[in-house]
Amino acid sequence: MQLFNQLASLSLITLPLIAQADTVVNKNDLTFNANQYTSQIIQVNGQEIKYRAYEHIVYVKNPVDTQYQQMNIYIPEAYFANGQIGSYNAQNAPIFLPNSIGGYMPAEPATATPSLKGPKAGKTSTVAYALAHGYVVAAPGARGRTTQNTDGQYTGKAPAAIVDLKAAVRYLRHNDAAMPGNAEKIISNGTSAGGAMSALLGASGNHSDYEPALKALGAANARDDIFAVSAYCPITNLENTDAAYEWQFAGVTAYKKMMMGNMIDFRMERKEVAGTLTVAEIKTAKDLKTRFPGYLNGLKLRDEKGELLTLNAAGNGTFKEHITSLLMSSAQKALNKGTDLSNTPWLTIHNGQVVSVDFDQYVKTITRLKTPPAFDALDLSSGENDLFGTSTIKAQHFTAFGQANSRVNGTSADPAIVKLMNPMSYIGAAQSITTKNWRIRHGTTDRDTSLAISAILATTLKNQGKNVDYALPWNVPHSGDYDLDELFAWIDQISQSH
Ligand code: DHB
């Protein structure tokens, strides 16, 4: 009843099925059927949005799991009557592609109607906002680390999720002529593990490494490069992220950890328990921290002025200054908007200007979330260990450090599969298209991964000449879709100028 009231208060009206007559001969034949939809209306900010809902479209010919290898496509009704929304019409409307992946878990496609569970239950969905803005929305599901078939084999371990997202993109391109919206203007969106997959989709367009898996699934024979990437707090670059985490957090021995080791999905409510690192963990943290400068320096990243971003053995240097300058910009922006920052012990402010950041104090203030190694857990208990299992092995290591220090004699993932999950392996790769337009956000109070990870991704892309909008929103924790007005303004600007 309570749920009914919530829905009623959003004035959600689902009209009867209009066009059910077309029977589906082969629902996996990859042909978009424009007549197979329900008409729906949803209220967004007091405005009524009418759209056609094409739901549960299986996007590969030979699905392994139709619960997840399917997509919901939503199209504003206006585009079937020569209408316009803003400056968009059936020909030029971008296609917004929000994945709902969290925690590297299996994800069903997002819906226009509010989700029924999680922190956003009952709230206007991202899909609905995107429709109201005039985008065609294609929300793909994808297999994840816990998916199993009836024989009990795992079917969604790495690289399943990225292969599925690529198959969804290929479906959209394959059907571009039959659908309103422009498949040359696909904008991928995701948060956390979903942000990582969004970034990977953008980094690895058309790369042949994924071809065998796509062929086996019977994906459409079309390109899978995309126009733009939106990634919130991407949990990515998994081979290097333990070292990056300790570069940032090694000095903090107190942690507030999630109660269940595997409860990492940003969509779940988090219950945290406080603790202190053991002597062995403090040693692991220090060991991992010393590995970071070598990796970072090897990237030869440069800032906007062309200056090399480096770190000395102690973890100090121009790269660290780069991160503190990003924090300062974030604070300055908040200050300019009137936010009271006087109780921020790690900031020095003079006459309304942020003049310095005490990075160690900042890290202590936001606290540590994970115990070392933060990702490749020595007892194989992390979500990422689970991601790198195989059809018959639940969880594996994926770093040399994890393997060498395993407490459970764990095996290691095939390095070729680890590579398939990392956008850093593909940015600028030959015979592949790396997306030109990127928007990356990583909140200043996010402790799920180091700020270094998003900064390395953004800087690598910038150094390759990509159009990158990267910022650390002030006081924002591990989350996404919190600034859709700004995201949509960015999408409009790139869609209209490119
Ligand atoms: C997510 C969060 C994590 O801390 C992590 O390690 C992986 C995924 C998430 O919210 O998706």
Residues 6+ apart with CB under 8 A from 160: 64, 142, 143, 144, 147
CA of 302 to the centre of ligand 1 (A): 28
Nearest-CA residue for atom 6 of ligand 1: 264
Residue with tokens 């400068």: 293
The helix (H) or strand (E) run that includes residue 242 is helix 241-249
Q: Among 100, 104, 451, which is best to mutate for testing ligand 1, by the most ligand atoms less than 8 A from CB?
A: 104
Q: Are 166 and 22 within one domain?
A: yes
Spatial contact of 122 and 111, defined as CB atoms under 8 Å apart: no
The model's pLDDT over 131-186, given as tens digits with 9 standing for 90+, comes to 999 999 999 999 999 999 999 999 999 999 999 999 999 999 999 999 999 999 99
Measured CA to CA, the distance from residue 422 to residue 34 in angstroms comes to: 36
Cα 326 to Cα 440: distance, rounded to the nearest angstrom: 13
**DSSP reduced 3-state for 89:** coil
State if residue 383 touches ligand 1 by the CB under 6 angstroms criterion: yes
292: helix, strand or coil: helix
pLDDT for the residue numbered 257: 84
Task: Say if residue 163 is in the same domain as residue 202.
Answer: yes
239 lines ligand 1 (CB under 6 A): no
CA distance 401 to 239: 10
Residue 350 within a domain: yes
CA-nearest residue for atom 3, ligand 1, is: 264
CB contact set of 81 (below 8 Å; sequence gap of 6+): none
Is any ligand 1 atom within 6 A of the Cβ of residue 446? no
Q: pLDDT tens for the chain, 498 residues: list them.
A: 333 333 333 434 344 343 443 444 446 899 999 999 999 999 999 999 999 999 999 999 999 999 999 999 999 999 999 999 999 999 999 999 999 999 999 999 999 999 888 778 899 999 999 999 999 999 999 999 999 999 999 999 999 999 999 999 999 999 999 999 999 999 999 999 999 999 999 999 999 999 999 999 999 999 999 999 999 999 999 999 999 999 999 999 999 887 765 567 787 777 888 999 999 999 999 999 999 999 999 999 999 999 999 999 999 999 999 999 999 999 999 999 999 999 999 999 999 999 999 999 999 999 999 999 999 999 999 999 999 999 999 999 999 999 999 999 999 999 999 999 999 999 999 999 999 999 999 999 999 999 999 999 999 999 999 999 999 999 999 999 999 999 999 999 999 976
Asked whether residue 115 falls in the same domain as residue 139, the answer is: yes
Q: Which amino acid is at 42?
A: I
CA of 76 to the centre of ligand 1 (A): 33
For the CA of 375, the nearest atom of ligand 1:
6
The reply to whether 176 and 263 lie within a common domain is no
Which of the listed residues 374, 396, 418 is the one where a domain comes to its end?
Answer: 374
Domain match, 138 and 51 both = yes
Is 103 part of a structural domain of the chain?
Answer: yes
Q: Do 205 and 265 fall into the same domain?
A: no
Report if residue 156 sits inside a domain: yes
Sign (positive/negative) of CA torsion 263, 268, 273, 276?
positive
Instruction: Kindly state whether residue 259 falls inside one of the protein's structural domains.
Output: yes
How many CB atoms lie under 10 A from the CB of residue 469? 16
pLDDT for residue 188? 99
Residue pair 483/441 in contact (Cβ under 8 Å)? The answer is yes
Tokens of 385: 């260990």
Best residue among 268, 448, 451 to mutate for probing ligand 1's pocket (most ligand atoms within 8 Å of CB) is 448
Ligand 1 centroid to residue 264 C-alpha, Å: 5
Does the residue 430 lie in any domain?
Answer: no
Query: In this structure, which amino acid lies at residue 388?
Result: F
Query: Is the same domain home to 332 and 230?
Result: no
- Ligand 1 lined by 235 (C-beta under 6 Å): yes
CA-nearest residue for atom 1, ligand 1, is 103
Q: Is residue 29 part of a domain?
A: yes
Give the number of other CB atoms < 10 A from CB of residue 173: 18
Q: Which domain holds residue 143?
A: 2-236+481-496
How many CB atoms lie under 10 A from the CB of residue 49? Answer: 22
Residue 70: give its domain's CATH number.
3.40.50.1820
Based on the domain organization, do 274 and 199 belong to the same domain? no
Contact 55, 45 (CB under 8 A): no
- Smallest CA-to-CA distance from 370 within 268, 269, 270, 294 is with 270
Distance CA 290, CA 286 (A): 6
Same domain, 182 and 293: no
Q: Among 191, 233, 235, which is best to mutate for testing ligand 1, by the most ligand atoms less than 8 A from CB?
A: 235
Residue 432 in any domain: the answer is no
Chain-centroid distance, C-alpha 308:
28
CA distances for 252 relative to 243, 316, 335, 363, angstroms: 14, 17, 27, 7
Give the total number of structural domains in the chain.
2
Q: 209 and 84: one domain?
A: yes
Helices (H), 300-423: 318-336, 359-366, 383-387, 400-404, 415-420
Q: pLDDT at position 498, please?
A: 60
In short, whether 103's Cβ falls inside 6 Å of ligand 1 is yes
Q: Which residue minimizes the CA distance to atom 7 of ligand 1?
A: 103
pLDDT for the residue 35: 96
**Atom nearest to 195 CA in ligand 1:** 11
Dist CA 259 CA 384 (whole Å): 17
Amino acid residing at 38: T
Which pLDDT score, from 0 to 100, does residue 27 have? 61
Evaluate the omega torsion of the peptide bond into residue 159 and state whether it is cis, within 30 degrees of 0: yes
How many other CB atoms are there within 10 angstroms of residue 122's CB atom? 15
pLDDT tens digit sequence for 239-286: 999 999 999 999 999 998 877 655 677 877 778 889 999 999 999 999
Give yes or no for a contact between 98 and 139, defined as CB atoms under 8 angstroms apart: yes
User: Measured from the CB, is residue 264 less than 6 Å from ligand 1?
Assistant: yes
Of 319, 344, 374, the residue that ends a domain is 374
Q: What is the mean pLDDT of the chain?
A: 93
- How far does the centroid of ligand 1 lie from the alpha carbon of residue 266, in Å? 6
Between strands 13-19 and 37-44, the pairing is antiparallel
Name the phi and psi angles at 494, rounded to 5. -70, -35
pLDDT in tens, 383-400: 999 999 999 999 999 999
**β-strands 228-232, 182-191: how paired?**
parallel
Query: Which amino acid is present at 319?
Result: F
158 and 188 in a single domain? The answer is yes
Q: Are residues 139 and 105 in the same domain?
A: yes
Between helix 359-366 and helix 318-336 the angle, nearest 10°, is 70
Q: Are 182 and 175 in contact (CB under 8 A)?
A: no
Quote the crossing angle between the two packed helices 279-299 and 241-249, to the nearest 10°: 110
DSSP letters spanning 149-185 = -TTS-B---TTHHHHHHHHHHHHHHHTGGGSSSEEEE
Rounded to 5 degrees, what angle do the CA atoms 401, 380, 164 make?
Answer: 100
Q: Is residue 471 part of a domain?
A: no
Answer with the one of 374, 400, 434 that is the final residue of a domain: 374
On whether the CB atoms of residues 375 and 381 are closer than 8 A, the answer is no
Task: Indicate if ligand 1 lies below 6 Å from the C-beta of 162.
Answer: no
* CA 306 to centroid of ligand 1, rounded, Å: 33
Ligand 1 atom nearest to 102, measured from its CA: 11
User: What is the structure's pLDDT at 117?
Assistant: 81
